[in-house]
Amino acid sequence: MKAVTIRGVEPEVAEKLKIAAKKQGKSVNYIILELIKTSFGLKKEKKFSRKYDDLDDLFGRWNDDEFKKINDSIITQRHIDQELWK
């Protein structure tokens, strides 16, 4: 891959890039690459990454507190008692 240096980036632009990167949990370099690919129409859409919520009305949906409670319960049940396996 070729490295490219961009000169003359205004402080406001650099700050917005840093904020966007931090918000998305990505590097500034990655954000810039995404912007360039998008502007040239080269960004590939992810396959199989759609989230469906059309059955939520039938089956319900956990809120954050319910998920934490259930997840904590599962984590405690995954504990292996070494004494039982001797």
Distance CA 33, CA 39 (A): 10
pLDDT, one tens digit for every residue, the chain (86 residues): 888 899 999 999 999 999 999 999 999 999 999 999 999 989 887 777 777 777 777 777 788 999 999 999 999 888 888 888 87
pTM: 0.50
pLDDT value, residue 34: 92
pLDDT value, residue 39: 93
C-alpha to C-alpha distances, 10 to 13, 26, 49, 57, 84, nearest whole angstrom: 5, 21, 35, 48, 64
Residues 6+ apart with CB under 8 A from 64: none
Asked if 27 contacts 16 with a C-beta cutoff of 8 angstroms, the reply is no
Q: Which two tokens stand for residue 29?
A: 């370099």
